[in-house]
Chain A
Amino acid sequence: MPGSMSKLGGLATGLLACSRSGALSNQVRGVVHKSLLRLPSEHPEPWDYKHNGFNYIDGLKDDTRSHFHQNSKLIVVEGNIGSGKTTLAKQLADQLGFVHFPEFRMDDILVDRYGNDLRNYYNKFPARYRLPDISMFYKNPSGELSAAMQDRIFNCRFDQYLNALAHILNTGQGVVLERTPHSDFVFANAMRDKNYIGHEYFKHYYFVRKNALPQLHFWPHLVVYLNTPTNKCLENIKRRGNTDEIATVDERYLKTIEESYKDSLREYRNHSKILAYDWTKPGDTDAVVEDIERLDLDFFEWHSGDVMEEWNTIVDSVGWNGWRQYVTNKYDARMLAFDGIPKHEVGELYTNPRDTGHFLHVMRKEVLKSPYGYGYIAKNGDHQAGLNAWHTGHHLPEPWYEYYFREAYYDDLTSHETSLDLDSDSYDPDYVHHHH
């Protein structure tokens, strides 16, 4: 585990908490409005992690702690469906000078860099690879792929959380994130309550969750929970006008989510600050900003619980650079979280290997129209890139990817049909119509 030696230093830091330089030299300030933020004079330029990635050797030329300032915080906005959290998150990010990470949607991974919407090819894909997005889920919530969709969403929320951490550690700018993998289980509970997912996948989900959450390591500094009653949420959902959403997201579904959020907040309470608001009538963002400014998000004592522990027990540059590489590269985190977990007892996640072969055939012949992977197709406008590919974990030309299951998964996917037929000459469009 990168930076694990820094945990030993945490003890010394805790014992010597009275000698913190902030306590003696100047007053410690929490998060401030962006108009009041004063960066130190030697504050470095943000590290362009999306184009440069971050490897261990980059730590020699760019120190992580130099990027931090008062507003290098992770704020998470939680709430029920239709509670108004997107509006609040946007306004919070705008007022504090943070960057807003919207909630993950399946559209983020179903449209690739060339503008190909995989949903347009669903009639050619095998049934297992027609992952529903939220609209398709609302239309047919009892479908066979609801569990696969939930599994994919949790996987991508994991990536999104690491992206938020990478943004903070590489640029110093704070992040306002909507929902986290920590609270994703509220949807699994709701889907299980209405039998949209089966018992086997439900158990598997909690097993994966228990394995994956410790790999995120950092908890949010602050969780803003919007407590909107379910009838108010239903009104907001009706106002959106999506008939399938209105049919699927009913009182029972929302009530289960609301009850599950109580468990989620109980879990957050051990590691993060929490602000909860009655959002029956949407409140004023300025009031929330004032409350955030009054919080002390920099306080940590070793013997006073685990709130802010992960952000304050890393003691040196090696530790911070290690965690920065960990959250930016994502390879170790994903490997420790998701690899090696057997799925053979979860029928809803079963993938026929022949379906995988046909999916790869369709990708080569119909979607990409090329035997090469993403980023390496000259006729799609890709330049010769990846000449100095030293990064680990994926084969895209860029060192950093946003979601593994958007494009990076494609190079790791293989099958018997395609391993010896590298140009997919045995592609059979009628495969999807055959009886298997």
Chain B
Amino acid sequence: MADSTRVSEKEIERRETFIRAGHRARHLADPFTWSYPLKGASAMLGISLASVYLQNRWNKKPYYYAIVPRLLLIGAATAAGYAAGALRERHYQTRDAVIEHYMKLHPEDFDHFNDRSGRSFSQVLLPWYPRRTQYTRYD
């Protein structure tokens, strides 16, 4: 292959790690830099607080109406959101670990991953022997 199309290993590595979870520093103002459990808990907490506020206003109630059972329910909802985020993170970790383990067990099935810059057709195509049917009289 032409050298102009080849990319160095360092550049390939940079491209793959440019966007990845947990890579950027955590900023309070940017929810996408938070961890998955924190995002889940924050979403459920926000939704719960908004719904409690609207229900109280809708039903002509102050903030302290039924506050004890509602705090329990908000805590439960926040815990559910945290659990959902933790489950998602755990799921991704498990998936990556399983895939890496399989690649270690069967490296021959993943040889083509090493040719990041591509291969020539002679390396891809199988051998070919032309046999033209119309010339059978000369076999």
Contact = CB atoms under 8 A, between A and B. Distances in A.
Count class of interface residues, chain A = 10 to 19
Contacts of B68: 387-388
Contacts of A94: none
Contacts of B57: 371, 422
Interface in B90-136: none
B60 A419 contact: no
Contact of A372 (B62, B66, B67): B62
B69 A395 contact: no
Count class of interface residues, chain B = 10 to 19
Nearest to B57: A422
A151 B57 CA distance: 30
Given A386-B66, A389-B66, A372 B58 contact: no
Given A388-B69, A390-B69, A371 B64 contact: no
Contacts of B66: 386-390
A410 B60 CA distance: 9
Nearest to A364: B60
Taking each of B57, B58, B61, B64, which has the highest tally of chain A beta carbons within 10 Å of its own beta carbon?
A: B61
A395 B58 contact: no
A376 interface: yes
B60 A372 contact: yes
A364 to B, nearest CB: 8
A387 B61 contact: no
A373 to B, nearest CB: 4
Interface string A111-144: 0000000000000000000000000000000000
A213 B132 CA distance: 100
A376 B58 contact: no
Contacts of B61: 372-373, 376, 386, 395, 411
Nearest to A420: B58
A386 B66 CA distance: 6
Contacts of A384: 62, 64
Interface string B46-75: 000000000001111110111111000000
23 contacts: A371-B57, A371-B60, A372-B61, A372-B62, A373-B61, A376-B61, A384-B62, A386-B61, A386-B65, A386-B66, A387-B67, A388-B68, A389-B65, A389-B66, A390-B66, A395-B59, A395-B61, A395-B65, A410-B60, A411-B59, A411-B61, A414-B58, A422-B58
